[in-house]
Amino acid sequence: MPLLEAAGILFTMQETKYQLHAQEIAHSLDLMKYDGIVCVSGDGVLVEVVNGLLQREDWDTAIKVPLGIIPAGTGNGMAKSLLHSVGDLYSVPNAVFAIIQGHKRSLDVASVVQGGTKFFSVLMLTWGLIADIDIESEKYRWMGSARLDFYSLLRIMNLRKYSGLVQFVPAPGYEGYGEPIKQIDYHKDETTCSQEGQESNVEAQTQGYPGPQIDFQTTEWRALDGPFISVWINNVPWASENVMPAPDAKFSDGYLDAVIIRDCPKSALLDLMLKISDGSYVKSPYVTYLKVKAFRLEPGRRVGNPDKGGIVDSDGEVIARGDRFHDRSQHENLMAYGPPIQMTVDRGLATIFSPAR
């Protein structure tokens, strides 16, 4: 606040009180009164704001409002990515200065869709090892930041693999990955994929941004079959201030960076996790790294334990969980575990305050 005040910037501060509060604020905010929306938080509040703007009737003008991020959470991947892109030190003052300077850049937005249910992502989607570590380690939050290192080691020593299928539309230069397939009409099972009790949510989403208008039926899709250790789809290079899963990711290239691990010895996997802080792990022969225009995930059951599934995590929030085949928690999540979840990217849809080069 002192930095913004010293720069002569007028602002209104609103503290969020509960989950999705920022989404509600962005959905109803009178945008004519403001030149930008700044989130002082981790990445979660930024994601809520993007979803709120894109669910408005005037989404096409609302999403052009510049967004800012001042890191103040456990996951600060967007702020780290923005500052690192110009060689700036990751710090709160530098993030504030970037907003004061008013330099802006375009930001890709991915639509995560299952049937009639939609979620907008600006960071990542994970399934398998990384999602398990991120979500299940919450029970060790009392350990502080060490919880992630501790639970990473625990999960590698008791490694899980998941059956499933991934399909993708490769970016130019990545056509050699996977096997060619004939794409099935994704929308044919819209009604069966929607969760019970979500009719009003689906109806509200149809009033906003419909998603990228791309005819994928005429596009060559390719596929990789499981079992999988980890699937990690990224929109920006950094997932947090010390985790760099996608070193080649760009803010507005129109592609998502997919990181897939299917088979890897535990010793090599431990080495990969140690190299994730600088992105060098992607050079391993056990890692498949490619850029995609669209991605489709069909998450399956845990190998050796068909009553157990995994976790699908998008931008730090669980969107699907498959603990048991008929688990009640299915209806507590945004999407169902098992039916296809598709991601498509809209190039440069959003605008974000960014440090100048």
Residue 51: CB atoms within 10 Å: 24
Residues 254 and 325 in one domain: yes
In a domain, 199, yes or no: no
Whether 92 maps to a domain, the answer reads yes
Is 181 found in the same domain as 83? no
Cα 57 → chain centroid: 24
Does residue 64 fall inside a structural domain?
Answer: yes
Q: Exposed e or buried b for every residue in 67-81, given b needs 16+ CB within 10 A? A: bbbbbebebbbbbbb
User: Is 43 labeled as catalytic in the residue annotation?
Assistant: yes
Examine residue 196 and state whether it is found in any structural domain, yes or no: no
CATH value at residue 152: 2.60.200.40
Q: Does position 248 have pLDDT exceeding 50, yes or no?
A: yes
Query: Are 104 and 180 contained in the same domain?
Result: no
Q: Which of 60, 83, 108 marks a domain boundary?
A: 108
Domain boundary among 108, 140, 156: 108
By CB neighbour count within 10 A (0-12 exposed, 13-18 middle, 19+ buried), where does 185 fall?
A: exposed
The Cα 101–Cα 300 span in angstroms is 47
Q: What is the pLDDT of residue 183?
A: 58
Domains: count for the chain: 2
pLDDT, residue 324, reads: 57
Is 101 in the same domain as 134? no
- Whether residue 122 is found in the same domain as residue 98: no
Q: Which of 108, 137, 167 is the last residue of a domain?
A: 108
Q: At what angle do helices 146-157 and 266-274 cross, to 10 degrees?
A: 160
Give the pLDDT confidence score for residue 275 in this predicted structure: 95
End-to-end CA, the chain? 24
**Per-residue CA distances from 270 to 140, 151, 211, 276, 281 (Å):** 20, 12, 38, 10, 10
Cα–Cα distance, 109 to 53 (Å, whole number) = 12
The active-site residue, picked from 43, 108, 313, 315, is 43
Yes or no: say if 314 and 125 are a contact pair by the CB < 8 Å rule. yes
Containing structural domain, residue 47: 2-108
What is the CATH classification number for the domain harbouring 34?
A: 3.40.50.10330
Whether 190 has a pLDDT exceeding 60, the answer reads no
pLDDT by residue (tens digit) across 19-75? Answer: 999 999 999 999 999 999 999 998 999 999 999 999 999 999 999 999 999 999 888
Q: Which pLDDT tens digit goes with each residue over 125-170?
A: 999 999 999 888 888 877 776 777 888 899 999 999 999 999 999 9
